[in-house]
Amino acid sequence: MDKKPKIGIFSLTSCEGCQFALLDLAEKFFNFTKKTEVIDFPLIEDEPFPEDIKLDVAFVEGTPITSDNVIILKKIREETKLLVVIGNCAALGGINKIKNYQDKDKIVKRIFRAANAVDNPKIRSVSDFVKVDFTIPGCPINGEEFLAIAEELIKGNIPKIKEKPVCSECVHQGKETCFLRKKELCFGPIILAGCKAVCPASDFPCYGCRGVLKNINPKGFLAALKKISSSEDIKADLEIFGIKDDLEKFL
Amino acid sequence: MGKIIIPHIHKIEGKAGFWAEVTEKGEVTDLKINTLLGLRQIESILIGRRFWEVPLVAARICGICPVVHILNCCCAIEKVFEVKVSETVVLLRKVLLASQIIQSHTLHLFFMTLADFSNIENDMDLLKKFPKEAEASLLIRDFSLKITKIIGGREIHPMTIKVGGFTKLPKKESLEALLKEYPKVFEAALVLAGLFKNLVYPILERKTKFLSLASKTEYPFYYNAKVVIGGKAMTIGDFYSNKIEEDFKTPPVKKVKYQGESYMLGAIARISNNRQLLNREAKNVFTDFEKKERKNINNVFYNPFYQAVEIIHFLEETEKLIKEIMERELVETQKEVKISKGSGLSAMEAPRGTLFTYVEADKNGRLLDCNIITPTAQFLNNLEDDLKAYLPKIADFSHEEKVKKIRALIRVYDPCISCATH
């Protein structure tokens, strides 16, 4: 029998929702893990990461915030062939990154007066610390999409997520109910699809948790948005899921 | 003098470690639960932001209980703006909250705590040893997630709940389909409770105070104006403002004490305070257990069993609520929200205990202050006190056995470190 690929599922600082998105798949997820050897998954297993085993694929959720987070992340990078980040926190800093747009030293003092005892770095993505081989985006990730991608990754293939906008999957596309047609803000046209436009389907606009499309020039779109929303609000909206940095030069 | 150190407690939500110094007789001279997640400063980053972002961002405090964070934020902001949502909205939100508790409890019971009472380290092996109960757990979980998705739009970080109501209401056919599925899921909950009723638990009963919301008419879980602690009822405002202190000196967690002492919350506290209000079958299962275990009824190791009782209770509640909703028209219920300055406090029962959310907004609806007191931040002191009381009882055990028992005690609390260190 062929040796099963070895995987690990790790979490830095986050809500851990992306790991729960996997557990929520229930049998489908357990069937996937049967094709692999799960070396470490602290959320549901007690055995710690063994020293001498190399991983084929490591899935990493969360933002590196504490110095321990950074040490563990670097160790994972050393121990694995492929490092795959899952979710908005790992990919783009997540909601944690809102802090970057305020005075972080003042912020921490709002709650903890003895603040020197706590890690309070500028929020950065995992890829700012180590080489990332693949990103599964979203807040949280879509479990089904994870499975499709992970099946390829454990075979050693690096798949591609099609560069299409969220609108291409949206129930409101071309209809009067489209947020933009109603002159309400929605980032759908410039955001990577694959989520099945789950937010607009719930009559909630897209705030871009999956990140900005790579093959587009968003300048015209952002200029058009200014007709329906103030510059200040657009900027604040882009800050929620950490996509403002990528668009700064077009604003 | 010896040290007991467990660098990582696995199989809990988030990361934590355990550290204690113990004399040879087993007396504890120092003991700490160390939370190992970074501080995301979710309350602080919300200051200055627009009110509608609060539920969206606060949901991300926790991937296992985002629903209750969203509901409590919306309810607190509705108090700021003095918005009264419709009865239908309240009913739908209650169903969502019930689904949240069922989902979280089921995950904790089968995947996190069961192994500690059956000598299994790996969950994949649990599936083999308890196939019937595994199937029951997955069925219950799947059902509760389906409810969250139908009403909330998505299982994790649902987006339909908003200040004033919902962005979109569910279809009656979807709710009807849930009712059809209900009997099978209810049976599964009885199977799961049967398993947890008959496990062999260690005994640890230390005198403490139980906190929960208080109500005379229903087993309290959605917003209530009163809490009860150690038999004493008071308004949530009085409890929040005058009776508890948060420790701001030990980041990343603000540990909470009630008048200088630790206290307990969650399933064991809720049932202890409100047992007469449990739904029929939940009450039957609990009463049966109580007859047998009366003298140790407040044994903290029973918390998983109490969660199993609550799963039955909240399933029964779900059926009742959905039937009530089915008799109503599900049409646009969004109340117009008039932004005004002010402050609001809301309290709801999260899976692990009473969650307090306080917000203050300016006249433009931007946040001036935000404080979220999570259940885990409240019970960490109680957990440490319980561990201090428990270690002398296991002083004769081997180091390995001690570590197992300590982990088991920590896990019956079902701590959520993401919530504690937000």
pLDDT attached to residue A172 = 98
pLDDT attached to residue A41 = 80
* Chain position carrying tokens 């929605």: A186
What residues contact residue A41 under an 8 Å CB cut-off, 6+ apart?
A8, A9
What residues contact residue A206 under an 8 Å CB cut-off, 6+ apart?
A166, A186, A187, A188, A191, A197, A199, A200
Predicted confidence band of residue A50 (pLDDT cuts 50, 70, 90): low
Q: Tell me which of A97-106, A137-146, B40-49, B400-409 is least confident.
A: A97-106
Q: Which of B13, B15, B332 to mutate: most A Cβ within 10 Å? A: B15
Compute CA distances A58 → A45, A133, B77, whole Å: 16, 10, 41
In angstroms, the CA A70 to CA A59 distance is 15
Predicted confidence band of residue A49 (pLDDT cuts 50, 70, 90): low
pLDDT attached to residue A2 = 64
Question: Which residue from A minimizes the CA distance to B59?
Answer: A15
* pLDDT single digits (tens) A57-68: 999 999 999 998
* pLDDT single digits (tens) B283-333: 999 999 999 888 899 999 999 999 999 999 999 999 999 999 999 999 876
Is the pLDDT score of A207 beyond 60? yes
In angstroms, the CA B352 to CA B13 distance is 12
In angstroms, the CA B269 to CA B274 distance is 8
Is the pLDDT score of A1 beyond 60? no
Is B153 within 8 Å of A201 when comparing Cβ atoms? yes
In angstroms, the CA B419 to CA B253 distance is 9
pTM greater than the 0.90 cutoff: yes
Is B157 within 8 Å of A16 when comparing Cβ atoms? no
Question: Which residue from A minimizes the CA distance to B249?
Answer: A114
Is A95 within 8 Å of B10 when comparing Cβ atoms? no
C-alpha distance from A138 to closest chain B C-alpha (Å): 11
Contacts of A102 in chain B (CB under 8 A): 45, 48
B168 CB within 8 Å of a chain A CB: yes
Could you tell me which CATH number the domain at B2-420 has?
1.10.645.10
How does DSSP assign A74-98, residue by residue?
HHHHHHEEEEEEESHHHHH-GGGGG
A232 CB within 8 Å of a chain B CB: no
Q: Which of A17, A66, A107 sits opposite B63 (nearest CB)?
A: A17
B50 CB within 8 Å of a chain A CB: yes
Question: Which residue from A minimizes the CA distance to B111?
Answer: A44
pLDDT attached to residue B125 = 81
Is A45 within 8 Å of B64 when comparing Cβ atoms? no
Is the pLDDT score of A240 beyond 90? yes
Per-residue pLDDT of chain B (422 residues; tens, 9 = 90+): 689 998 888 888 888 899 999 887 778 999 999 888 888 999 999 999 999 999 999 999 999 999 999 999 999 999 999 999 999 999 999 999 999 999 999 999 998 999 999 877 777 788 889 999 999 999 999 999 999 999 999 999 999 999 999 999 999 999 999 999 999 999 999 999 999 999 999 999 999 999 999 999 999 999 999 999 999 999 999 999 999 999 887 778 889 999 999 999 999 999 999 999 999 999 999 999 999 888 899 999 999 999 999 999 999 999 999 999 999 999 876 678 999 999 999 999 999 999 999 999 999 999 999 999 999 999 999 999 999 999 999 999 999 999 999 999 999 999 998 888 88
Question: Which residue from B minimizes the CA distance to A123?
Answer: B40
Is the pLDDT score of A115 beyond 60? no
Residues A174-190, mean pLDDT to the nearest whole number: 97
Question: Which residue from B minimizes the CA distance to A14?
Answer: B418
Sheet hosting strand B232-235, strand order edge to edge? B211-213, B226-229, B232-235
Contacts of B122 in chain A (CB under 8 A): 45-47
How does DSSP assign B235-266, residue by residue?
EHHHIIIIIEEE-TTSTT---EEETTB--B-S
* pLDDT single digits (tens) B214-267: 999 999 999 999 999 999 999 999 999 999 999 887 778 889 999 999 999 999
Q: Do B348 and B222 meet the contact criterion of CB atoms below 8 Å apart?
A: yes
A190 CB within 8 Å of a chain B CB: no
Is the pLDDT score of A84 beyond 90? yes
Contacts of A202 in chain B (CB under 8 A): 152-154, 158-160, 167-168
Window 110-149 of B: residues touching A by CB (8 A cutoff) are 111-112, 115, 121-124, 127, 138, 141-142, 145
Q: A–B: how many Cβ contacts below 8 A?
A: 176
Domains by residue range for chain A, with CATH = 6-154 (3.40.50.700), 166-250 (no CATH)
Is B159 within 8 Å of A204 when comparing Cβ atoms? yes
In angstroms, the CA B420 to CA B422 distance is 6
Query: What ranges do the domains of chain B cover?
Result: 2-420
B414 CB within 8 Å of a chain A CB: no
Angle between helices B87-107 and B131-152 (to 10 degrees): 150
Window 21-80 of A: residues touching B by CB (8 A cutoff) are 21, 23-24, 26-27, 30, 33, 38, 42-48, 63-66, 68-69
Is B43 within 8 Å of A110 when comparing Cβ atoms? yes
A140 CB within 8 Å of a chain B CB: yes
Is B107 within 8 Å of A139 when comparing Cβ atoms? no
- % helix, strand, coil for chain A, step of 5: 40, 15, 45
pLDDT attached to residue B339 = 97
A107 CB within 8 Å of a chain B CB: yes
Percentage of chain B with pLDDT > 70?
99
Contacts of A69 in chain B (CB under 8 A): 38
Q: What is the ipTM of this complex?
A: 0.95
C-alpha distance from A49 to closest chain B C-alpha (Å): 11
Name which residue leads in pLDDT, A46 or A39. A39
Q: Tell me which of A43-52, A142-151, B66-75 is least confident.
A: A43-52
Contacts of B120 in chain A (CB under 8 A): none
**Hey, is B317 helix, strand or coil?**
helix
pLDDT attached to residue A46 = 64
Q: Which of A20, A99, A203 sits opposite B156 (nearest CB)?
A: A20
Name which residue leads in pLDDT, B368 or A119. B368
